[in-house]
């Protein structure tokens, strides 16, 4: 993505925004006995601006959760760098900085059934971050913070005395949200945070995340496979396939002007609210063999300002032509001028 500035990057409208997280050529491999290492993430690069919601979408097994877990240092990076406010956070870092990063970066995990300690009460599960960061001075203050954050995610304060097995999957996921929010981090990695919730609760949680972002200046990495949700909550989106980012753009630009065939395939599969339109829609299937990378590895190129697509030289030239054609069509489209009062 060209020369990388670890502190700011100029956007399309000329505004320069601080870069909170910089992922630079990240590669993650998992060792398998008597076999070649499994490459889960292949030289991924992207930046997340302070205060934005950055979406990472793709099919199951594409590597999006692995990226999130590597950022929060559950998995080790095989190569590449992850920088938070310009400082490297992967690999060996000083203990004090490690504690600081633990407080500033939190994660909402995907599986609400496996991410909570079944032997611990909700009070302990939610307040564990307070213990680790020393953000309370008395038991009453801790209890008050737990009660407040439970109410923020739509749970009753008295639930603090219960165990995880007493709750439904949706309630358990909201407990996970509360656990991440209680220490008021700067950056939250939300890994499919609403996948286990019913429709009405999903809207509540999304609105909650949006409100907390406004109130506390939070930044989100929102990992999902539901593109309709991603369109609702994110500012920019990166589409990942088999461990590689194939397209990255502002959310509306990506949805209105997809360029990579994989992105087009994902968008074509979004369910439509109109039964007739859903019945008649055409789903595009993506075939990776359509790419011929024998002449050289593909690269992520900027086709239009802020819109990056993965491809070889021939493909990139084609994407430029498609983008130019779309711009020409918009310029030639007739404008519906408002009628004058005397018309």
Average pLDDT, rounded, for the chain: 87
- Residue 203 CB partners (closer than 8 Å, separation 6+): none
Give the pLDDT of residue 186: 94
- Mean predicted confidence (pLDDT) in 281-294: 90
Top mean-pLDDT range of 6-20, 62-76, 138-152, 282-296: 62-76
Q: Which residue has the higher pLDDT, 342 or 329?
A: 329
Give the pLDDT of residue 329: 75
- Mean predicted confidence (pLDDT) in 226-235: 90
pLDDT in tens, 115-151: 888 999 999 999 988 887 777 778 888 899 999 999 9
How confident is residue 67, by pLDDT bands cut at 50, 70 and 90?
very high
Please, which contacts does 39-45 make with residues 24 or more away whose CB atoms are closer than 8 Å?
39/243, 40/66, 40/243, 41/66, 41/67, 41/70, 41/243, 42/242, 42/243, 42/244, 43/80, 43/244, 44/80, 44/240, 44/243, 44/244, 44/245, 45/1, 45/4, 45/80, 45/245, 45/300
Order of strands, sheet of 307-311, starting from the edge strand that comes earlier in the sequence: 105-108, 187-191, 219-224, 53-57, 236-241, 244-250, 307-311, 299-304
Domain 8-257 - what CATH class? alpha beta
The domain limits of the chain are: 8-257
Q: Could you give the C-alpha distances from 207 to 4, 160, 249, 273, in angstroms and in order?
A: 33, 23, 23, 21
Return the SS3 of 86.
coil
Hey, which bits of 169-306 come out as E strands?
A: 187-191, 219-224, 236-241, 244-250, 299-304
How confident is residue 35, by pLDDT bands cut at 50, 70 and 90?
confident
Give the pLDDT of residue 335: 62
Lowest mean pLDDT among 52-56, 70-74, 123-127, 151-155: 151-155
Lowest mean pLDDT among 7-11, 66-70, 202-206, 339-343: 339-343
Q: Which residue has the higher pLDDT, 2 or 265?
A: 265
Q: Could you give the C-alpha distances from 7 to 86, 168, 189, 207, in angstroms and in order?
A: 6, 43, 20, 30
Return the SS3 of 88.
strand
One-character DSSP codes across 292-334: --TTS--EEEEEETTEEEEE-HHHHHHHHHHHHHHHHHHHHSP
Residue 57, pLDDT > 60, answer yes
Cα distance between residue 127 and residue 122, in whole Å: 8
Lowest mean pLDDT among 61-65, 146-150, 209-213, 234-238: 209-213
Residue 7, pLDDT > 80, answer no
Give the pLDDT of residue 9: 53
pLDDT in tens, 76-109: 999 999 999 999 999 899 988 988 998 899 999 8
- Mean predicted confidence (pLDDT) in 253-264: 95
Bridge partners of residue 312, in order along the sequence: none
By residue count, the chain amounts to 343
Give the pLDDT of residue 336: 60
Residue 27, pLDDT > 80, answer yes
């Amino acid at each position: 993505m060209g020369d990388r500035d670890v502190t700011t990057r100029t956007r399309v409208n000329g505004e320069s925004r601080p870069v909170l997280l910089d992922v630079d050529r990240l590669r993650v491999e998992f060792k398998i006995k008597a076999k070649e290492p499994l490459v889960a993430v292949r030289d991924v690069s992207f930046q997340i601006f302070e205060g934005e919601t950055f979406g990472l979408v793709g099919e199951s097994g594409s590597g999006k959760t692995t990226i999130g877990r590597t950022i929060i240092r559950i998995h080790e990076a095989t190569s590449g760098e992850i920088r938070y406010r310009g400082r490297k956070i992967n690999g060996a870092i000083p203990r004090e900085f490690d504690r600081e990063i633990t407080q500033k970066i939190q994660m909402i995990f995907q599986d609400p059934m496996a991410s909570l300690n079944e032997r611990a009460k909700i009070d302990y599960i939610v307040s564990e971050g307070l213990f680790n960061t020393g953000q309370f001075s008395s038991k009453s203050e801790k209890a008050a913070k737990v009660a407040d954050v439970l109410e923020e995610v739509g749970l009753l304060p008295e639930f603090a005395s219960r165990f995880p097995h007493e709750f439904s999957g949706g309630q358990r996921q909201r407990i996970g949200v509360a656990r991440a929010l209680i220490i008021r981090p700067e950056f939250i990695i939300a890994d499919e945070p609403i996948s286990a919730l019913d429709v009405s609760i999903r809207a509540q949680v999304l609105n909650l995340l949006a409100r907390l972002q406004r109130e506390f200046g939070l930044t989100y990495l929102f990992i999902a496979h539901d593109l309709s949700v991603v369109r609702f909550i994110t500012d920019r989106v990166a589409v990942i396939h088999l461990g590689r980012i194939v397209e990255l753009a502002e959310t509306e630009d990506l949805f209105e002007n997809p360029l990579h065939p994989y992105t087009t395939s994902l968008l074509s599969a979004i369910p439509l609210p109109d039964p007739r339109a859903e019945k008649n829609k055409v789903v595009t299937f993506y075939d990776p063999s359509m790419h011929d990378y024998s002449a050289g590895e593909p690269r992520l190129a900027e086709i239009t300002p802020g819109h990056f697509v993965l491809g070889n030289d021939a493909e990139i030239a084609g994407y430029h032509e498609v983008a130019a054609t779309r711009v020409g069509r918009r310029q030639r489209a007739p404008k519906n001028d408002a009628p004058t009062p005397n018309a």
